[in-house]
């Protein structure tokens, strides 16, 4: 199995060093992993992301693990970027400077609100939450138009708190998937939601089925923030993908994508 969404202590809100995650992946019998460290130049989210000065250290450390574990597991290097329009030139410079395998795009902050925070979500009234959802969709639309992403991460993470999404928000997410197909972007199946109040992968089955019908390439990721979570929920994700008719997963090496058959779960 493949886990393409792993964080470490470098993101400032995860635990454990890079080696501990690699060791956990080997113990779990994973065939391939990708470190997808949080990175942002948006002042709202920099406290929850790797500092630009740490990027060289991060890339070097993962390269060291690649060499040390090359006979046991395939290791990739990536970034999960919270994009802000004014930061695009600087983000492009970072991406082009280093030898990344995968660049993921995601939105965690909308109008200064941390949508991944259960505390923040609980403080919102229903109309406020629905308004936030609509702004989230607009932010994701903008992100998809950004030229340097390979994968859209946890597309409907706005549902993390378990509150139902308005119908127009669901429709907007379906339209975003249509645009992803036009732009040849991959979609992540993120199992982190299985432990959140949403109690489901991101994205929901309806969105995932639409993506599969359009032939959108798919990745799988645990969104692990501790070594113990590496690979968590991937078997459930694979079963869901097979149930919906998916047959392949996307792999990335130096930003080049290939497709491989979905391996049966143990």
Inside any domain, residue 66: yes
In a domain, 266, yes or no: no
pLDDT of residue 45: 61
DSSP 224: B
Q: Are residues 138 and 176 in contact, defined by beta-carbon separation less than 8 angstroms? A: no
Instruction: Count other Cβ atoms within 10 Å, centred on residue 166.
Output: 16
Q: How far apart are CA 15 and CA 19, in angstroms?
A: 12
Does residue 220 carry a pLDDT above 70? yes
Q: Is residue 218 domain-resident?
A: yes
Q: What is the mean pLDDT of residues 235-249?
A: 96
Domain that holds residue 96: 2-261
3-class secondary structure, 199: coil
The two tokens of residue 104 are: 């993921």
- Rounded to two decimals, what is the model's pTM? 0.94
Is residue 212 in a domain? yes
**Each residue of 183-203: pLDDT tens digit?**
999 999 999 999 999 999 999
Q: From CA 12, how far away is CA 58, in angstroms rounded?
A: 13
Q: pLDDT tens digits for 32-81? A: 999 999 998 876 666 778 888 999 999 999 999 999 999 999 999 999 99
Task: Report which of residues 263 and 224 the model is more confident about.
Answer: 224
How does pLDDT run across 116-169, given as a tens digit for each residue?
Answer: 877 777 788 999 999 999 999 999 999 999 988 999 999 999 999 999 999 999
Domain count, the chain: 1
> How far apart are the C-alpha atoms of 104 and 92, rounded to whole Å?
13
Count of Cβ atoms closer than 10 Å to residue 248 Cβ = 14
Instruction: Report which of residues 204 and 87 the model is more confident about.
Output: 204
The answer to whether residue 128 is domain-embedded is yes
pLDDT at 121: 73
**Does position 13 have pLDDT exceeding 60, yes or no?**
yes
Average pLDDT, the chain: 93
Here the CATH number for the domain that contains residue 91 is 3.20.20.140
- Say which residue, 111 or 3, is predicted with more confidence: 3
* DSSP-derived secondary structure letter, 46: G
Decide if 135 is inside a domain.
yes
Q: Can you give the C-alpha Rg of the chain in angstroms?
A: 17
- Is 149 part of a structural domain of the chain? yes
- Give CA–CA dist 190/12, Å, rounded: 20
For 256, the 3-state DSSP assignment is: strand
CB 185 within 8 A of CB 213: no
Could you tell me which residues are beta bridge partners of residue 40? Answer: 82
- pLDDT at 265 (0 to 100): 59
The side-by-side arrangement of strands in the sheet containing 32-40 is 2-6, 32-40, 74-82, 102-106, 151-152, 186-190, 218-221
CA–CA separation, 83 vs 146, rounded Å? Answer: 8
Please report whether residue 152 resides in a domain: yes
Largest CA distance in the chain: 53
């Amino acid at each position: 199995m493949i886990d393409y969404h792993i964080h470490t202590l470098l993101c400032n809100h995860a635990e454990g060093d890079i080696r501990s995650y690699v060791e956990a992946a080997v113990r779990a019998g994973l065939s391939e992993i990708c470190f997808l460290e949080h990175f942002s130049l948006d002042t709202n989210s920099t406290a929850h992301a790797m500092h630009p000065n740490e990027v060289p250290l991060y890339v070097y450390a993962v390269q060291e693990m690649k060499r040390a574990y090359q006979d046991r597991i395939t290791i990739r290097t990536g970034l999960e970027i919270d994009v802000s329009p004014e930061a695009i030139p600087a983000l492009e410079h970072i991406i082009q400077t280093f030898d990344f395998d995968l660049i993921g795009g995601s939105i965690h902050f909308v109008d200064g609100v941390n949508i991944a925070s259960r505390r923040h979500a609980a403080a919102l009234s229903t109309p406020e939450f629905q308004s936030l959802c609509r702004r989230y969709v607009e932010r994701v639309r903008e992100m998809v138009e950004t030229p340097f992403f390979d994968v859209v991460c946890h597309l409907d993470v706005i549902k993390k708190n378990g509150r139902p999404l308005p119908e127009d928000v669901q429709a907007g997410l379906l339209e975003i998937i249509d645009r992803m197909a036009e732009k040849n972007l991959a979609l992540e199946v993120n199992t982190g939601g299985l432990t959140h109040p949403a109690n489901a992968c991101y994205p929901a089955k309806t969105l995932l089925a639409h993506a599969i019908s359009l032939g959108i390439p798919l990745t799988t990721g645990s969104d692990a923030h501790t070594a113990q979570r590496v690979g968590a929920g991937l078997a459930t994700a694979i079963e869901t993908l097979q149930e919906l008719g998916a047959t392949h997963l996307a792999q990335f090496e130096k930003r080049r994508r290939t497709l491989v058959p979905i391996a049966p779960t143990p």
